[in-house]
Amino acid sequence: MSDPLPSSRPVRPSRLSVNQETVKQWSLPELAEGCAKEGIGSVGLWRAPVQEYGVERAARLMRDAGLTVTSLCRGGFLTDPSGATRARALDDNRAAIDEAAVLGTDTLVLVSGGLPPGDKDLVGARERVADALAVLGPCAEERGVRLAIEPLHPMFASDRCVVSTLGQALDLAERFPAHQVGVVVDTYHVWWDDQAPTQIVRAGAGGRLHAFQLADWITPLPAGVLLGRGQLGDGCVHFRSFRELVDATGFTGPIEVEIFNEELWSRDGTEVLRETAERFRTYA
Amino acid sequence: MSDPLPSSRPVRPSRLSVNQETVKQWSLPELAEGCAKEGIGSVGLWRAPVQEYGVERAARLMRDAGLTVTSLCRGGFLTDPSGATRARALDDNRAAIDEAAVLGTDTLVLVSGGLPPGDKDLVGARERVADALAVLGPCAEERGVRLAIEPLHPMFASDRCVVSTLGQALDLAERFPAHQVGVVVDTYHVWWDDQAPTQIVRAGAGGRLHAFQLADWITPLPAGVLLGRGQLGDGCVHFRSFRELVDATGFTGPIEVEIFNEELWSRDGTEVLRETAERFRTYA
């Protein structure tokens, strides 16, 4: 399979949304200014830097720069069974929903959480995520926000996210209304899965494809494996196939590039932004 | 879920087979002597140390120590499309089949191989594995050896094994007779997969459950992720559930403990062997 597919049509460049983690070296004002200068109209934001800057202030900054916020990362971490920890997690997710609403995005990305210490019961942990979604779904709906369950690569199943596949994410999401709970398709996490194409169709048909994110798979993985994502084109993900699968469901939304990579973070932000936009046009 | 299940029955200790990688610090004679001394009757062997020692000589060493060889690791690496590389890979697998036969084991573990450099086509790579199995299956049958496809954790999909789940492994295996091609269930690789229980039943029903291996999942993963396996009980795999699932299919074979872990390799081999046997009785 050559890459990109010669028969396929290039992506509309304006669909690019740059997740702020891709240019983590930038402050929020630098991100706003840099994106505006490079003609990038959309960004995905993370809670910690937004909270640090001030949520209302960040919302104003993005609005003033003409930027659309396509998602907020992340709520979740809902697997702890203990009463107090669980109550705190639910409160934190309610706060995340509010923050998303203030930022003007309708999509809050949820990372489910891993196994609590000493716990070996993945099924039980996934059930606790479902219980939490039953509480949080209506809260999100009230604020015009959709909860988007992100399956993470199975290498994160124990310590970060007990939801490892799109199939599992949809099994969870489908217990709730589609305008409350859907899924994120992130190529980094699902590229290896032969069931992903079928599950993308399923997500689209149910109106549950809430967000689409890109990062490449490169090896060797670094210790801890969290920061091993690759710039588009540097690895083995066939982005155009995924984009065409997603588009074929009727999805016309933004496509976020979200890369955690220390080498990218050590470079000039504008250079990374330009490279990302170019790779997006070439590979997505 | 507590561990072990209070209601479940302990494993028969004699089912323990120690894969030589678990005590990689030992030479083959040390392995033979150490296992004999500790009353462990079965071992899984690897090709490189066996070839270095001499295949016939290793077979005799194991026989003389009263040890059964439960599997040979590993053939495979069948994804390269180029004529010469592919021919070499097939020759190497024929040699591996011969070695298995000489060692008196009926099980050759196959690791499929990753994506060739620059290749992004997982489906095509898996098809090349199938093409190779069509050639190798009859060779194996002639020597009384079964090919056991081992799905590796999806974190190895690009650089080591394009077969990532039991479902995929069975899709491949079922194109061939069950006495030629089956699968390995290794808890380290499949523990996260909610489809694994169903696929274990499928493997058992088809007579394709050729080998059962145990290692625990621990984090953080080390750089390169290959040597991150945990001693039984140190991580989050619920071994007894898996063992009972496997046994429920009618499987009564050996259970190999195969742990790649530098900390274990730095310790005294006898101590590791005793600990492994004890953990096996407690958790399997």
Cα–Cα distance between B164 and B220 in angstroms, integer? 21
Average pLDDT, integer, range A141-161: 98
Task: For residue A9, name the pLDDT band (cuts at 50, 70, 90).
Answer: confident
The shortest C-alpha distance from A54 to chain B (Å) reads: 33
Average pLDDT, integer, range A125-139: 98
What does the pLDDT look like over A31-67, one tens digit per residue? 999 999 999 999 999 999 999 999 999 999 999 999 9
Percent over 70 (pLDDT), chain A? 98
Task: For residue A7, name the pLDDT band (cuts at 50, 70, 90).
Answer: low
Phi, then psi, of B149 in degrees rounded to 5: -70, 125
Amino acid at A156: F
| Tokens (6 digits) for B104 | 């008196």
Give the other-Cβ count within 10 Å of B84's Cβ. 8
Question: pTM here?
Answer: 0.96
Q: What is the mean pLDDT of each run of 10 residues along chain B (284 residues)?
A: 60 97 98 97 98 98 98 97 93 98 98 97 97 98 98 98 98 98 98 98 98 98 96 98 97 97 97 98 97
Class of domain B13-283: alpha beta
Any long-range contacts for A218-224 (C-beta under 8 Å, 24+ apart)? A219/B158, A219/B159, A220/B159, A220/B223, A220/B224, A220/B225, A221/A155, A221/B155, A221/B221, A221/B223, A221/B224, A221/B225, A222/A262, A222/B223, A223/B220, A223/B221, A223/B222, A223/B223, A224/B220, A224/B221
The residue ranges of every structural domain in chain B are 13-283
Phi-psi bin for A219: left (phi > 0), alpha (psi -120 to 50), beta?
A: beta
> Is A234 an 8 Å CB contact of chain B?
no
B224–A193 C-beta distance less than 8 A: no
A168–B121 C-beta distance less than 8 A: no
Task: For residue A2, name the pLDDT band (cuts at 50, 70, 90).
Answer: very low
What does the pLDDT look like over B178-207, one tens digit per residue? 999 999 999 999 999 999 999 999 999 999
Q: What is the per-residue pLDDT for A8? A: 74
Q: What is the per-residue pLDDT for B8? A: 74
> Is B217 an 8 Å CB contact of chain A?
yes
Asked whether the predicted pLDDT for residue A1 surpasses 50, the reply is no
Q: Chain A contacts of B168, Cβ < 8 Å?
A: 194
Amino acid at B132: A
Q: Would you tell me which residues 131-160 of chain A have a C-beta closer than 8 angstroms to some C-beta of chain B? A: 153-155, 157-159
ipTM greater than cut 0.90: yes
Q: Chain B contacts of A191, Cβ < 8 Å?
A: 157
Output the average pLDDT for chain A.
96
Q: Chain A contacts of B122, Cβ < 8 Å?
A: 192, 194
Which of A115, A195, A217 is nearest residue B236 as measured by Cβ atoms? A115
